Structures are given as structure tokens and as C-alpha cells.
């Protein structure tokens, strides 16, 4: 009986949850994978995209600009206002959101935000990674990672300590 208990306990001890390791869960931000909001949007689109662990993302588009809001399990909406907090230029979100989770609990969100910031040439796009912390009482942007060779790694490093970070925008 002792050996059976040990056999069942060993995998648990080495699981990512036992060590508090953070992993990634990806969810789609594509319109085909989201459900259009029931509330009408003037000259735009609003849809609810699946998240993780009862969180959801509200995808908003208007005037060739996009942003998302995080909807907590208690239905509280946290506006990230990417179209003003990151760039006011024409913009689009990446195809997926990366949730950083410990166990099943999301601790941060990483989204790609593509912005056309050159009024002379709108085809020139700057692709940012936006990192938002997720706590029981707060969801907010903690950093905006500019393009670089290590952008993805840098964003995950920021995300993995996001709960201790200060909000850049309220």
C-alpha cells in the first residue's frame, strides 16, 4: 500500500502546479471563433472570445482600430483601451491571446497589437506585445514590449512577474 501511495504522489510532486510554474494557454481572437455581442455597435464590431478559467475577452473594432477588454468570471469588465494606451493609429490584434497561468488560474495576458503609426506610409506596421496583469481585484497593462529579436521571451518574463507590477494605465 505504501508503494502505491508513493507512485501516486511522485507525479503530483513534479507537476508544474506543485512547483508553481507558469505555462501558456492560447485562445483565438479571430472573429470566426468569437460570438458577436448582442448589443449593437455603431460603425464597428463587438464580439466575445473564449478565454480560460471563466475569463473571456471582448473584442472591439471601430474606425479601423481594435482593442480588447478582459471579462472576469464575476462579469466585471476591464478595459485595456489599446487604441489609446498603445497607439491611436490604425490597428489590429494578433490572431490569438496568450494567457499565462499557474495551475488553472490566469495571472497575465499577452496580446499582439499591430499599429500603423506612420501617416506617410500606413503599410509600415509596428508590432507590439502588450502585457496585462490579472489579479482578483485588478486587470491592467503593465508593459508594452517593442519589437525585438527577444520580444516573445521578454513579454513572458514581464508576464510572469506581472502580479507584482504597477499598472501603466488606469
Phi and psi of 52, rounded to 5°?
Answer: -140, 150
Could you tell me the pLDDT band of residue 9, with boundaries at 50, 70 and 90? very low
Q: How far is CA 77 from the centre of its chain?
A: 14
The pLDDT value recorded for residue 4 is 42
**With 60 as the cut, is the pLDDT of residue 91 above it?**
yes
Q: Is the pTM of this model over 0.75?
A: yes
Could you tell me the pLDDT band of residue 20, with boundaries at 50, 70 and 90? low
Could you tell me the pLDDT band of residue 18, with boundaries at 50, 70 and 90? very low
The pLDDT value recorded for residue 70 is 98
45 within 8 A of 29, measured Cβ to Cβ:
no
The pLDDT value recorded for residue 170 is 67
Strand spans (E) along the chain: 22-28, 34-36, 44-50, 56-62, 65-71, 77-79, 90-102, 105-116, 125-134, 139-145
Q: What pLDDT digit, counting tens, does each position of 27-56 carry?
A: 999 989 999 987 767 778 899 999 999 999
**With 90 as the cut, is the pLDDT of residue 1 above it?**
no
Mean pLDDT of the chain: 88
**Residue 36, beta-bridge partner list:** 47
b vs e for 85-115, b when ≥16 Cβ sit within 10 Å of the residue's Cβ? Answer: bbbebbbbbbebbbbbbbeeebbbbbbbbbb
Total Cβ atoms within 10 A of residue 75: 8
Residues contacting 98, CB < 8 A, separation 6+: 24, 25, 26, 109, 110, 111, 159
Q: What pLDDT digit, counting tens, does each position of 99-139 carry?
A: 999 999 999 999 999 999 887 888 899 999 999 999 999 99
Amino acid at each position: 500500500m505504501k508503494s502505491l501511495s508513493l507512485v501516486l504522489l511522485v507525479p503530483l510532486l513534479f507537476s508544474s502546479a506543485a512547483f508553481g510554474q507558469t505555462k501558456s494557454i492560447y485562445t483565438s481572437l479571430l472573429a470566426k471563433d468569437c460570438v458577436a455581442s448582442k448589443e449593437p455597435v455603431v460603425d464597428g464590431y463587438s464580439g466575445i472570445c473564449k478565454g480560460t478559467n471563466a475569463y473571456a475577452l471582448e473584442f472591439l473594432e471601430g474606425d479601423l482600430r481594435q482593442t480588447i477588454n478582459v471579462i472576469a468570471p464575476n462579469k466585471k469588465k476591464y478595459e485595456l483601451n489599446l487604441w489609446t494606451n498603445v497607439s491611436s493609429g490604425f490597428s489590429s490584434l494578433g490572431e490569438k491571446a496568450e494567457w499565462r497561468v499557474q495551475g488553472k488560474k490566469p495571472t497575465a495576458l499577452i496580446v499582439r497589437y499591430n499599429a500603423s503609426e506612420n501617416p506617410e506610409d500606413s503599410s509600415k506596421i509596428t508590432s507590439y506585445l502588450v502585457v496585462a496583469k490579472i489579479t482578483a481585484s485588478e486587470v491592467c497593462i503593465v508593459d508594452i514590449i517593442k519589437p525585438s529579436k527577444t520580444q516573445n521571451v521578454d513579454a513572458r518574463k514581464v508576464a510572469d512577474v506581472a502580479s507584482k507590477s504597477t499598472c501603466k494605465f488606469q
